[in-house]
Structure 1
Amino acid sequence: MSAVRLTAVSATLLLLIALVAAVHVVQGTAAVGPAELWGWLTGSTDGQAAAVVVESRLPRLAAGVVVGLSLGVAGAVMQSVARNVLASPDTLAVNSGAFLAVTVGATVGLPSALGGDLVLAFVGGLLAALLVFALAGTEYGTVRLVLAGTVISMGLASISTMLIILNPIEGVGLQAWEAGTLTQNGLSTVRLMTPLVAVVLALVLLHARRLDLMALGDDEARSLGVPVRRTQLTVLLLAVLLSAVAVTLVGPIGFVGLVAPALVRLGTSRVAGLHRHRALVPLSGLTGVLVVLGADVAVRAVMGSQRAVQVPTGVATTLLGAAVLLGFALRLRASRLDEGGNALDVRGLGVRRPLLLVGALVVMLAVVAGASMLVGDRMFLVGDLINWLAGRGGPVTSSVMDARAPRVLAAALAGVALAVSGAIIQGVTRNPLADPTLLGVSGGASVGAVLVVTAAPAASYWAISGASAVGAVVAATLVFGLAARSGFATDRLVLLGVGVAYGAIALVTVLIVATDPFNASKALTWLSGSTYGRAYEHLVPLVVACAVLLPVCVAGARRLDLLSVDEDTPRVLGVDPARSRLLLLGCGTLLAAAAVSVIGVVGFVGLVAPHAARALVGRRHRLVLPVAALLGAVLLSLSDLLGRTVIAPTQLSASLLTAAIGTPYFLYLLHRSRRSG
Structure 2
Amino acid sequence: MTLLTAPARPEPATQPAPGGRPNAPRVVGVFVAAILLLLVVGAVHLTQGTSTVGPLDLLRLVTGTDDEAARVLIASRLPRLLAGLTIGVALGFAGAALQSIARNPLASPDTLAVNAGAHLAIVSVAAFGISLPALPAGGLAFCGGLAAAGLVMAMSAGGQAGTTRLILAGSATALALGSVTTLLLLLFEQATIGLFAWGNGSLVQSDLTALTQLAPVIVGATIVLVLLGHRLDILALGDDTATVLGLDVRRTRLIVTVLAVLLSAAAVTLTGPVGFVGLCAPVIVRLLAPLVPGVHRHRILLPLSGIAGVIIVLGSDVLLRAVMGGQAGVDIPTGVVTTLFGAAILIWLARRHRDAGPTRRPPGGHAAVRSAAFHRTVVAVTAALTVCAVAVGMLAGDTWVLLGDLVNWVNGTTGPAYTFVLDQRWPRVAAAVLAGAALAVAGTTVQAVCRNPLAEPGILGITAGAGLGAVALLTFVPLAGVWAVSGVAGLGAMLAFALVYGLAWRGGLSSDRLVLIGFGAWQGGIALITYLIVAFDPWNTGKALTWLSGSTYGRTSTQVLPVLIALLVLTPAVVAARRELDLMTLDDDTPRVLGVRLERTRLIALGAAALLTSTAVSAVGVIGFVGLVAPHAARALVGGRHSRVLPVAALLGAALVSIADTLGRTVIAPAQIPAGLVTAMIGTPYFVWLLWRSRAVANNPR
TM over 0.5: yes
- Which ranges of structure 1 fall in alignment gaps of 5 or more residues? none
Say whether 1:584 aligns with 2:602.
no
Q: What residue is the counterpart of 2:4 in the other structure?
A: none
Say if 2:450 and 2:515, in contact at 8 Å, map to a contact too: no
Are 2:422 and 1:401 aligned?
yes
TM-superposed CA distance for 1:594, in Å, is: 0.8
Give 1:66-465 correspondences, 5 Å limit: 66-107=86-127, 116-136=136-156, 137-168=158-189, 170-335=191-356, 343-349=364-370, 352=373, 354-355=375-376, 357-457=378-478, 464-465=485-486
2:186·2:545 contact (CA, 8 Å) conserved in 1?
Answer: no
Alpha-carbon displacement from aligned partner over 1:364-400 (angstroms, at most 9, x marks no partner): 3333222222222222222222222222332322222
CA shift digits 1:622-664 (9 cap, x unpaired): 4432322222111101001111111222211111111112223
C-alpha distance 138-328 of structure 1, shift in aligned 2 (>3 A):
farther
Deviation at 1:40, TM superposition (A): 4.2
Query: How far did residue 419 of structure 1 move?
Result: 1.0
The aligned runs of 1:451-490 (5 Å cut-off) are 451-457=472-478, 464-465=485-486, 467-477=488-498, 479=500
SS in 1 for 2:575: helix
Instruction: Show the 5 A alignment for 1:541-560.
Output: 541-560=562-581
Cα distance change, pair 237–490 in 1 and its aligned pair in 2 (3 A)? farther
- What does 1:31-70 align with in structure 2 at a 5 Å threshold? 31-47=52-68, 49-70=69-90
Contact 2:133 2:210 in 1 (8 A): no
Two-structure CA RMSD over aligned residues (Å): 3.1
Alpha-carbon shift at residue 26 of structure 1 (Å): 2.7
The DSSP-based 3-state class of the residue aligned with 2:443 is: helix
The question of whether the paired residues in 1 share the 8 Å contact of 2:362 and 2:585 is answered with: no
In the alignment, the residues of structure 2 paired with residue 164 and residue 216 of structure 1 have an alpha-carbon distance, to the nearest angstrom, of 44
Alignment partners' CA distance in 2, 1:564 and 1:217:
30
- The equivalent residue for 1:664 is 685
Partner of 1:21: 42
Q: Which moved more, 1:489-498 or 1:134-143?
A: 489-498
Q: Which moved more, 1:297-306 or 1:165-174?
A: 165-174
What stretches of structure 2 of length at least 5 have no aligned partner? 1-21
Letter in 2 for 1:578: E
1: distance between equivalents of 2:375 and 2:366?
18
Classify 1:250/1:517 alpha carbon distance in 2 versus 1 (closer, same or farther; 3 Å): closer
Quote the offset at 1:245 in angstroms. 1.0
2:231 and 2:579 map into 1 onto residues whose CA distance is 56
Instruction: Tell me the TM-score normalized by structure 1.
Output: 0.91
The more displaced of 552-561 and 628-637 is 552-561
Whether contact under 8 Å (1:453, 1:519) holds in the other structure is no
Cα distance, 1:580 vs. partner?
A: 2.8
Describe the SS at the equivalent of 2:662.
Answer: helix
2:361 and 2:381 mapped to 1: Cα distance?
Answer: 35
Matched letter for residue 103 of structure 1: V
SS at match of 2:327: helix
Deviations 1:71-100 (A, max 9, x none): 111112222222332222112221112122
Residue 109 of structure 1, CA deviation:
7.8
Distance in 1 between the 2:413 and 2:680 partners? 39
Deviations 1:224-243 (A, max 9, x none): 55444333322322222111
The 8 Å contact of residues 134 and 210 in structure 2, kept in 1 or not, is answered as no
Segment drifting more, 149-158 vs 532-541: 532-541
Contact 2:509–2:599 under 8 Å retained in 1: no
The one-letter code of the counterpart of 1:128 is A
SS in 1 for 2:100: helix
Deviates further, 631-640 or 509-518:
509-518
Q: In structure 1, how many angstroms separate the alpha carbons of the residues matched to 2:542 and 2:319?
A: 25
- Following superposition, the deviation at residue 255 of structure 1 comes to 1.3
When residues 562 and 238 of structure 1 are mapped into structure 2, their CA distance, relative to the original with a 3 A threshold, is closer
DSSP-derived class of the 2:369 partner: coil
User: In structure 2, the residue corresponding to 1:361 is in which secondary structure?
Assistant: helix
Residues 95, 279 of structure 2: 8 Å contact kept: yes
Assess if the C-alpha contact under 8 Å between 1:259 and 1:324 holds in 2: yes
Could you tell me how far apart the structure 2 residues matched to 1:625 and 1:198 are? 53
For the 8 Å contact 2:364–2:640, the answer to whether it is kept is no
Query: Using a 3 Å threshold, how does the CA distance of structure 1 residues 418 and 26 change in structure 2: closer, same or farther?
Result: same
**Cα 1:616–1:208 shift into 2, 3 Å:** closer
Q: Rate the CA distance shift 1:74–1:393 in 2: closer, same or farther, 3 A.
A: same
Using the TM superposition, give the Cα deviation of residue 246 of structure 1 relative to its aligned residue in structure 2, in angstroms.
Answer: 0.3
Q: Structure 1 residues 114 and 314 mapped into 2: Cα distance closer, same or farther (>3 Å)?
A: closer
> What is the CA distance between 1:289 and its match in structure 2?
0.9
Q: Which has the higher relative contact order, 1 or 2, with Cα contacts under 8 A spaced 6 or more apart?
A: 2
Give the drift of 1:180: 1.2
Structure 1 residues 113 and 184: CA distance shift in structure 2, 3 A: closer
Mapped partners of 2:259, 2:198: distance in 1: 24
**Shift in alpha-carbon separation, 1:224–1:134, aligned structure 2, 3 A:** same
* Kept in 2: contact 1:60–1:182 (CA 8 A): yes
| Distance apart, 1:532 and its partner CA | 1.4
Q: Name the structure 1 match of 2:658.
A: 637
Range 59-68 or range 16-25, more displaced: 16-25
Q: Which stretch has the larger CA shift, 573-582 or 381-390?
A: 573-582
Cα distance in 2 between the residues matched to 1:114 and 1:108? 17
CA distance in 2, matches of 1:145, 1:629: 27
Instruction: Give the 3 Å change call, closer, same or farther, for CA 33–69 of structure 1 in structure 2.
Output: same
Code of the residue aligned with 2:91 in structure 1: it is: L
Give the letter for the 1:70 counterpart.
A
**Partner Cα separation in structure 1 for residue 168 and residue 585 of structure 2:** 21
Aligned equivalent of 2:15 = none
Q: Give the Cα–Cα distance (whole angstroms) in 1 for the partners of residues 125 and 323 of structure 2.
A: 35
Q: For residues 136-160 of structure 1, give each alpha carbon's deviation from its aligned partner in whole angstroms, at most 9, with x where no partner exists.
A: 2333443333222222111111122
Q: How many residues align?
A: 676
Distance 1:633 1:341 in 2: 24
Distance in 1 (CA, whole Å) between partners of 2:382 and 2:239 is 52
Give the drift of 1:582.
2.2
* Counterpart position of 2:5: none
Q: Aligned match of 1:646 in 660, 664, 667?
A: 667
2:621 aligns to what? 600
Separation in 2, partners of 1:484, 1:122: 41
Question: Counterpart of 2:459 in 1: which secondary structure?
Answer: coil
Identity over aligned pairs, percent: 52
Give, as a single letter, the amino acid of the residue that structure 2 aligns with 1:369: V
Tell me the CA shift for residue 589 of structure 1. Answer: 0.8
Deviation readout 1:116-155 (Å, 9 max, x if unpaired)? 1111111222222222222223334433332222221111
